[in-house]
Structure 1
């Protein structure tokens, strides 16, 4: 067997290999697969204009295609990249011809075709099946859609996925994503398997040394940093994010009643990772709102996990999502998150997540953010120290009892408490369940202490990519779960 080419090859169909949510999750999964047994290839889409042909070959398109962010990663891992013309609605014949040609040229090479681009999955999956691919999978990753004609067109092309037979298996990252792509009837009938967007939890776990390094590089060592990670596209709702941050700044700058006195004198910054077609528009909006000098447009980062460490808070007001990996990543990093209630509830795994409607005023979001920041141990007086000490003790217990991780509503096992902690058992007995839940919320400034507890909850909810790689590896090898 040639080096880098596994016995089983899976073709993943995507729009491209840029830094999108689906792409990041698939590459993370690829890195954790047993690549001696299983290899991934990728089929991407690109405009044929530069080739001068309406239906160019994959090689012709690849010759003019600009490399995407993950191209090198795919090649280093042993994968191959193929290309077909981007589907624009009026080139159906050319699109089908390119697909038929590709699957005929590589007949027998792929055991699975897994389509993450569901807008045209009802076109390319049947072609793959007729070309001899044994197993075809439609994988839903978005729980909403664009507005206007573009959104309507996508819904029409996805309509065939609402019935059985188009794909052998239907996957979705959340129930809402499954309903959006396959329909409620298919989901309720058990014809859609929910597979969460898993991440490398250890890579995102809080690290104080990394935090200090990145904050120094960004020049925000003494600042409060509100963060966001996502491409600059309609779904991410950056205009609302910028308006929220504007209100945060105004509330702090005009805090005559000293509601946020503990934050006075501290610089505040909005750190945004990602690129996209709306990035320049958002820079102009930040300038009009007079907050541009307080915003950091960081672009795409290969070490995005390190930038989460530099943040103090995470704000994510998306219009719609399948299951946003960035919110899972933020929780893994110990960040308190304020997210829109249009996001799938499966992402609400830990006590770090709060939800708000994007129909609320940006000022309401801003007040919530500042109220939460006021409870950070880093900025707070000694009033909450006893509760913070309680949380540290409970986190230690959780670490010692890995087989039965402590839940916030449980009372602590006092027999396991270290007598040298200085913890007053009398205080513990007086704590209500609500108080213990609050103790975890109040310790968000002490992210290193809550890391074991947070990662355990995310792992139990199915967000560990290593466990998911083992699950899907078994599926790819056996053809069943």
Structure 2
């Protein structure tokens, strides 16, 4: 048996973001005797050590914000010259993938994949203009287009969106299955009273996640449920700002900042409701995880309808209607519904089982390198109508 096919994934870092969590889910479940993942990053990440244990390599070049445009492009060029062995480069940098794929093309990489995980760029006006410029290169230099949703494909690929391959943001369903025993244990560890109402959120502290709005909602909700606790899981550049705002709003005794956690599947068991008022998203992995744990989810109506697994758990609400958010939170209190621990089959039917997603991706990689016939990837290809 020969060596596995090595695929180079390009990301800023391998921390616990949505795209990075998906990548690790795929990596853990793919047949690593046939496919190995390596990573080109710009910063250290919490998954680096696990990647090395799984047989992957982690390379690092400085990011554009550290060294500027010219030196970043030079670093990309030099990397591909130094490591010419890659047949497949799979870039997860949104519009910045344009620069990555252009460098890969010049180096003779035959398969250059652009992957869309979102529907909008972060940053101010200047940053978005710069990213737009980088993004104009994607249709020219990508050989293949992968996306989590139709909206994300149209945003990043434009006219090329018709040729998109849709890869679902799969999760390990068994890990998230609701367990009353785990709920009791985690709530005990968090020093929560038995009947204390716990509002939860999992997400990076960055502009799209809309943490300021989340604090405002919770402040209003406390007038109905004074003992409620808001549990915020994640890290990111806006964490200090949100902590300051929580103090200014006199919310500190009702909020727990838990930072980046490796036990999200257990923490979700302790929540009573999951709030997700994002300004924009692709298909958030955290919302799939929340539904897999049987958790009611109140989300902004800017998030794609594809995220609703049809379990009766997702309620989309406009960000302009705070009153309705509060009413829905009160509904969750009043319903006292038992958490459903048998949702796996329905989520799997929607295509979000990581075993299926990793199998599809493995066949896709084999196909684009000519190792198997195209008909073996039935289920991977789904062109936008």
TM over 0.5: yes
1:186 deviates by 2.7
2:14 match? 17
2:106 match? 130
2:143 match? 168
2:153 match? 178
Counterparts of 1:120 and 1:324 in 2: how far apart (Å)?
20
| 1:476 corresponds to which of 356, 365, 370 | 365
1:478 deviates by 2.8
Which ranges in structure 1 are unaligned for 5 or more consecutive residues? 47-66, 254-266, 377-444
* Counterpart secondary structure, 1:327: helix
**Structure 2 residue 175 is matched with structure 1 residue 203:** yes
| 1:81 corresponds to which of 31, 35, 58 | 58
2:249 match? 289
1:360 match? 321
Which ranges in structure 2 are unaligned for 5 or more consecutive residues? 369-373, 378-385
Counterparts of 1:193 and 1:38 in 2: how far apart (Å)?
19
1:159 deviates by 2.3
* Counterpart secondary structure, 2:64: coil
Decide whether aligned partners of structure 1 residues 6 and 75 sit closer, same or farther in structure 2, where only a CA change above 3 A counts.
farther
1:374 match? 334
1:116 match? 92
| 1:268 corresponds to which of 222, 228, 236 | 228
**Structure 2 residue 319 is matched with structure 1 residue 446:** no
Counterparts of 2:136 and 2:166 in 1: how far apart (Å)?
20
**Cα deviations across residues 310-330 of structure 1 (Å, max 9, x unaligned)?**
111100000111111111100
User: Does the aligned pair in 2 maintain the 1:174–1:323 contact within 8 Å?
Assistant: yes
* Counterpart secondary structure, 1:114: strand
Decide whether aligned partners of structure 1 residues 43 and 240 sit closer, same or farther in structure 2, where only a CA change above 3 A counts.
same
* Counterpart secondary structure, 2:146: strand
2:350 match? 461
1:92 deviates by 3.1
User: Does the aligned pair in 2 maintain the 1:6–1:35 contact within 8 Å?
Assistant: no
* Counterpart secondary structure, 2:6: strand
1:21 deviates by 0.8
User: Does the aligned pair in 1 maintain the 2:99–2:137 contact within 8 Å?
Assistant: no
Cα RMSD for the two superposed structures: 1.8
**Cα deviations across residues 85-134 of structure 1 (Å, max 9, x unaligned)?**
212498333222212221112112x2210000023211121221232322
| 1:71 corresponds to which of 48, 70, 75 | 48
1:446 deviates by 1.6
1:206 deviates by 0.7
Q: Which runs of 4+ in 1 moved over 4 A?
A: none
User: Does the aligned pair in 2 maintain the 1:226–1:314 contact within 8 Å?
Assistant: yes
1:149 deviates by 2.1
Work out the number of aligned pairs and report it: 367
User: Does the aligned pair in 1 maintain the 2:297–2:314 contact within 8 Å?
Assistant: yes
2:189 match? 217
Counterparts of 1:15 and 1:201 in 2: how far apart (Å)?
27
Counterparts of 1:155 and 1:345 in 2: how far apart (Å)?
26
1:40 match? 37
**Structure 2 residue 180 is matched with structure 1 residue 227:** no
Counterparts of 2:57 and 2:67 in 1: how far apart (Å)?
28
**Cα deviations across residues 317-349 of structure 1 (Å, max 9, x unaligned)?**
001111111111000000000000111111011
Rg larger in 1 or in 2?
1
Decide whether aligned partners of structure 1 residues 251 and 371 sit closer, same or farther in structure 2, where only a CA change above 3 A counts.
same
1:152 deviates by 2.7
1:221 deviates by 3.7
| 2:132 corresponds to which of 130, 134, 155 | 155
1:399 match? none
* Counterpart secondary structure, 1:171: strand
Counterparts of 1:131 and 1:327 in 2: how far apart (Å)?
39
